């Protein structure tokens, strides 16, 4: 008993933590600019409505750094994160610069695409300010989910609104409205908001809040919000969205379960049951003769021929370089096959480095002392990476915003834990 008392007294005598607390609510000018930037990324992804994304990025970065300089003891950027961001930007930057100096071709989108990679620098400001952007992002995405469901309901009540939304989407780049035919007997009406894949983060966040809730009312509320985000993903109408809206929650419950084998087995049986029930629709969705599917399969032949050139395979063609695609029958600077594009742009070695950087937050979350919220978020990001196999939403303000949120939190928490341990501080 004396030993227990001595241990308790010694623990209580540890110095009070000087570590800055994590901020989750927007405060002051920095918080207002950050919220405006997130809203712009989610609701104006093509930057065609207001055209302020770049300016907001610069503004909250400058304000964040100035605020950090005023309180240097608490504004500390983890060295590992600095290296991470430097590598993430250096590879595409080197690709663009080398292409400009070694090719006479003027037709490329390198510098335009580079903006998406540079966005990762916001992680430095977030980590330095210890600002966890995930809650704010999740609430903004919940607003997106409610808008998607409202649009779907409005079109169901008044089909004439379909053409109105189509015109709006064409002008703003915010959404794609279409009816995709998979056969003469099966089609899906798509009201596809471009940023709807980001709803995986809202699903994960509300799941973790529900599991950590201390009251029945709060738990039910967060589960309802999770279901709202799931439904919105499904109503977007794409195969990726529909599949992930069902599979991600199953993976999240398996992650949190004490008996992972049992939960995984039940989830797998449930997924098989759904697949069996909707096997006709599923076969049609995966029909290789469907227009989108056949184009992507034909693109594989284009890549196979392209990577037959050792120079292209090893060093890449350069970010944003136009290529003639026989599958599309035209020149274009990007395809939906993201990971093949990484090799085409940067070569196998550059693509491998970026690949390691992309999975780094997943490795950190499942190897370190992280919370359920962090593990749920990186699991959602893993599903987002899977979705990006066949869509180009990774190296944009959508994918990089999510990545910046995760790495700023994980690197920051790891840094301050090591800081506290080295000084014997009780956190």
Tell me if 202 sits within 8 A of 145, measured CB to CB: yes
Which of 6-20, 282-296, 404-418 bottoms out in mean pLDDT, i.e. has the lowest? 6-20
CA distance linking residue 347 with residue 314, whole number of Å: 5
Q: In this predicted structure, what is the pLDDT of residue 142?
A: 96
Above 50 in pLDDT, residue 12? no
Q: What is the mean pLDDT of residues 80-90?
A: 96
Binning pLDDT at 50, 70 and 90, where does residue 100 land?
Answer: confident
Are the C-beta atoms of residues 328 and 295 closer than 8 Å to each other? Answer: yes
Look at 81-85, 175-179, 279-283, 369-373 and tell me which has the smallest mean pLDDT.
279-283
On the question of pLDDT at 74 being above 90, the answer is: no
pLDDT range class, residue 279, cuts 50, 70, 90: low
Nearest CA to 91 out of 116, 60, 65, 125 is that of 116
**Pick from 45-59, 60-74, 199-213, 360-374: least confident:** 60-74
Q: Please determine, for residue 14, whether its predicted confidence score (pLDDT) is greater than 50.
A: no
User: For the chain, what is the mean pLDDT?
Assistant: 85
Return the pLDDT at 238.
78
Segment among 104-118, 163-177, 198-212, 252-266 with least mean pLDDT: 252-266
DSSP H/E element including 176:
strand 175-183
Give tens-digit pLDDT for 322-354: 888 998 888 898 999 999 999 999 999 999 999
State the pLDDT at residue 278: 58
Q: Give the mean pLDDT of 16-34.
A: 80
Three-state SS letters, 55-73: HHHHHHHHHHHHHHHHCCC
Q: What is the pLDDT of residue 162?
A: 85
Place of tokens 């050792």: 310
Report residue 419's pLDDT band, with 50, 70 and 90 as the boundaries: confident
pLDDT at position 253 is 87
Q: Give which of 198, 230, 233 is closest to 401, Cα–Cα.
A: 198
pTM over 0.95: no
Per-domain boundaries in the chain = 24-422
More confident residue, 48 or 117: 117
Asked if pLDDT for residue 418 goes beyond 60, the answer is: yes
* pLDDT at 13 exceeding the cut of 60: no
Is the model's pLDDT at 259 over the cut of 70? no
First to last CA, the chain: 25
Q: What is the pLDDT of residue 88?
A: 97
Residue 173 Rama label (left phi>0; alpha psi -120 to 50; beta) = left
Q: Please give the share of the chain, as a percent, with pLDDT higher than 70.
A: 84
Residue 16 pLDDT level (bands cut at 50, 70, 90): very low
Among 10-19, 56-65, 179-188, 274-283, whose mean pLDDT is lowest? 10-19
Average pLDDT over residues 193-208: 94
DSSP state of 323: E
In whole angstroms, give the CA distance from residue 167 to residue 72.
Answer: 50
Percent of the chain with pLDDT over 90: 48
Please indicate whether residue 128 or residue 289 has the higher confidence score (pLDDT). 128
- CA distance linking residue 173 with residue 50, whole number of Å: 12
């Amino acid at each position: 008993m004396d030993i227990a008392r001595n241990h308790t007294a010694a623990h209580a005598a540890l110095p009070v933590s000087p570590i800055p607390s994590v901020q989750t609510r927007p405060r002051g000018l920095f918080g207002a600019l950050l919220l405006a930037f997130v809203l712009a990324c989610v609701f104006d992804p093509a930057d065609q409505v207001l055209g302020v994304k770049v300016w907001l990025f610069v503004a909250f970065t400058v304000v964040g750094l100035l605020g950090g300089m005023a309180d240097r003891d608490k504004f500390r950027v983890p060295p590992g994160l600095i290296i991470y961001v430097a590598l993430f930007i250096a590879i595409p930057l080197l690709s663009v610069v080398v292409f400009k100096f070694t090719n006479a071709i003027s037709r490329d989108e390198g510098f335009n695409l580079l903006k998406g990679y540079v966005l990762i620098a916001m992680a430095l400001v977030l980590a330095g300010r210890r600002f966890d952007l995930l809650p704010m992002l999740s609430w903004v995405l919940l607003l997106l989910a409610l808008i998607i469901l409202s649009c779907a309901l409005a079109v169901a009540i008044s089909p004439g609104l379909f053409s109105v939304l189509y015109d709006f989407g064409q002008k703003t780049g915010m959404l794609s409205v279409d009816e995709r035919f998979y056969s003469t007997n099966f089609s899906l009406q798509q009201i596809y908001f471009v940023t709807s894949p980001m709803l995986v983060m809202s699903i994960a966040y509300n799941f973790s809040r529900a599991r950590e809730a201390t009251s029945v009312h709060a738990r039910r509320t967060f589960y309802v919000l999770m279901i709202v985000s799931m439904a919105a993903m499904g109503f977007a109408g794409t195969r990726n969205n529909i599949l992930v809206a069902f599979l991600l929650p199953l993976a999240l419950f398996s992650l949190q379960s004490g008996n992972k084998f049992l939960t995984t087995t039940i989830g797998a049986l449930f997924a098989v049951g759904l697949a069996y029930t909707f096997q006709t629709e599923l076969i049609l969705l995966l029909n290789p003769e469907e227009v989108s599917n056949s184009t992507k399969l034909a693109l594989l032949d284009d890549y196979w021929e392209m990577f037959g050139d050792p120079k292209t395979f090893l060093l890449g063609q350069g970010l944003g370089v136009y290529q003639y695609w026989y599958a599309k029958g035209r020149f274009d600077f990007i395809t939906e096959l993201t990971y093949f594009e990484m090799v085409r742009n940067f070569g196998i070695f550059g693509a491998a480095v970026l690949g390691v950087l992309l999975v780094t937050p997943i490795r950190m979350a499942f190897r370190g002392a992280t919370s359920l919220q962090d593990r749920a978020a990186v699991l959602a990001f893993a599903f987002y990476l899977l979705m990006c196999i066949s869509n180009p939403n990774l190296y944009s303000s959508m994918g990089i915003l999510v990545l910046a949120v995760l790495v700023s939190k994980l690197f920051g928490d790891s840094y301050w834990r090591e800081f506290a341990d080295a000084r014997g501080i009780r956190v």
